[in-house]
Structure 1
């Protein structure tokens, strides 16, 4: 967990104008962010970044407050090429990600907020934005996560569309979703967990979820997904079975087709099969489109019967989605509150 944003980053000790060899061994300069006219050096891990106080203060209230501290008559902090060195506890790559956004005209800058980002980039942005109070970057990262892992069925359907705006690179998909869940647990973003757990269960069978990389997602979170997956399967099965007693599911008096078409029992059996498990033993992904083989049966129905089946399908999606958090052992939707709420 990052240090609280209110803490001033620790300054390295020393009182002389240090050279590269004076500092601890293995220190390297950033290739992209060693700016000749920079007036402060950030050191993260073994990498130093020479940048501008004004640029940092413009984006971060934490850095702005740090630079407003009264300066002692004789500097107590080490300097390199006349610049004070500020040691950060953040990963060097996270610092580089943030600087590449601040300095969007520096060569090799690769972070474009108008394009899809990797989950590692989003993690770096969110971690640094929370710690250093960079509100606009924090909000952009959260917006992207919530767009990909929403709280409503309508938004879930839209998340698979091309017009959904900048999202996340799901490459590889399984590791990406696992990292999203870990990020939500670390930073207190529970609203994205139900749909993220659903997505994980739709990507992999239970043994693959349980046997995944524990450095990405903890065993506890993996077990929570597997148990929720089982709850989801039972909920889907029982909900579809209730169609047999639903008077609005293919009522004979509303059938307007003279020739024979699939019976209620055949259609119901097709849905039970389609919504049970895939050949890879993954769960239904809540797609708005009726899955095969049920879709093939519905296509052979008269218009009236097909409409009733589609209505029941939409109702099941809404009802199970309403209970999705509870199926994964989470509070109801209305009680899920993110850290920025």
Structure 2
């Protein structure tokens, strides 16, 4: 069995923590019996164990994708003999590497590695995305990490123009209930700070603050429970976003923008503006929560054609300025620095 690694195995100081984390902890803590994964390669030459699950895989495949495993496998290992007394350290003639990761992460990651790896055409479910990101980061598996990062950054960009070009639905990550909260937690955990503002906004737009604080239900009946620090950040951001949106939509409640000074049907356009304001109020009531969609989302298609062209152009311009300002201030609502200085640490 490959046990805790010594300093001689470390390629550089930056790898010290990753290499040390390969030490044996799983076997000592496991209370249930070991389970053999479906990922059991008949010609595999190494067994990795995460929690109580073992996987028989190929060293060369792991080493090709991971600098950390390549360093590990370069360490000379004692030759195993069938009559060895160390039966618990050998499985079918293969040395065992004990890992401190979740078995589910390795199950998902290896399924990709031995299947159709890193295909940008396929939308990934959250569990697989999280496995690629966590294990890719920890074991320096560049392709896995970069694929996961690309998907998150694509769906939740830092650039306003990229945000405007997004599809209405997720395209690179599979949608399900609670997905935004799970992604927010993952991005926070992995220090993908550039995606945090938009993810936080999506959480607050999709679910009430009460639901977020008590736990957001997933499709399978489980709940997303965010850490206290994230719940605190969202609670503060929620209040700030409400105040901002209320201010930027003030033109719906007064005559500062509509009707336009040169409007030929001012009475009609004024009445339509009041109707538009009622649409916003009805959204709040029908959803049972404050609808933040008017803060940075694009012009409501239900408003199109309600006013004369002159008033609509004027109203659209004011609305767009509000959106741009909302995007600019979005990180500050969470207590973060501005977009330009919001760099990922991963």
Check if 1:28 corresponds to 2:35.
Answer: yes
Equivalent-residue separation in structure 2 for 1:272 and 1:329 (angstroms): 32
CA apart distance, 1:125: 1.0
Check if 1:191 corresponds to 2:198.
Answer: no
Equivalent-residue separation in structure 2 for 1:122 and 1:318 (angstroms): 31
Identify if the C-alpha distance between structure 1 residues 210 and 258 changes in structure 2 by more than 3 Å, giving closer, same or farther: closer
Tell whether the 8 Å contact from 2:251 to 2:258 is kept in structure 1 after alignment. Answer: no
CA apart distance, 1:242: 5.8
Which residue of structure 2 aligns with residue 323 of structure 1?
329
Identify if the C-alpha distance between structure 1 residues 272 and 336 changes in structure 2 by more than 3 Å, giving closer, same or farther: farther
Taking structure 2 as the reference length, the TM-score comes to 0.79
Q: Unpaired segments of 5 or more residues in structure 2?
A: 1-15, 217-222
SS at match of 1:262: helix
Out of 115, 123, 135, the residue aligned to residue 116 of structure 1 is 123
Out of 45, 56, 70, the residue aligned to residue 39 of structure 1 is 45
Q: Deviations over 1:179-226 (max 9, x none)?
A: 111112211111111111111111122211221168631233123212
Tell whether the 8 Å contact from 2:109 to 2:128 is kept in structure 1 after alignment. Answer: no
Equivalent-residue separation in structure 2 for 1:250 and 1:218 (angstroms): 47
SS at match of 1:188: coil
Equivalent-residue separation in structure 1 for 2:298 and 2:180 (angstroms): 21
Greater fraction of residues in helix: 2
Instruction: Map 1:1-341 to 2 at 5 A.
Output: 4-7=17-20, 9-10=22-23, 26-31=33-38, 33-72=39-78, 78-104=89-115, 113-161=120-168, 166-172=171-177, 175-212=178-215, 216-241=225-250, 250-253=259-262, 255=263, 257=264, 261-263=268-270, 267=273, 270-271=276-277, 274=280, 277=284, 279-280=286-287, 281-285=289-293, 286-290=296-300, 292=302, 295=303, 298-340=304-346
Equivalent-residue separation in structure 1 for 2:110 and 2:53 (angstroms): 13
Identify if the C-alpha distance between structure 1 residues 152 and 268 changes in structure 2 by more than 3 Å, giving closer, same or farther: farther
CA apart distance, 1:58: 1.0
SS at match of 1:261: helix
Equivalent-residue separation in structure 2 for 1:153 and 1:309 (angstroms): 20
SS at match of 2:205: helix
Taking structure 1 as the reference length, the TM-score comes to 0.81
Identify if the C-alpha distance between structure 1 residues 41 and 12 changes in structure 2 by more than 3 Å, giving closer, same or farther: farther
Tell whether the 8 Å contact from 1:5 to 1:131 is kept in structure 2 after alignment. Answer: yes
CA apart distance, 1:234: 0.8
CA apart distance, 1:153: 3.2
Which residue of structure 2 aligns with residue 19 of structure 1?
none
Equivalent-residue separation in structure 2 for 1:291 and 1:229 (angstroms): 25
Identify if the C-alpha distance between structure 1 residues 183 and 299 changes in structure 2 by more than 3 Å, giving closer, same or farther: same
CA apart distance, 1:80: 1.5
Equivalent-residue separation in structure 2 for 1:8 and 1:104 (angstroms): 27
CA apart distance, 1:258: 5.8
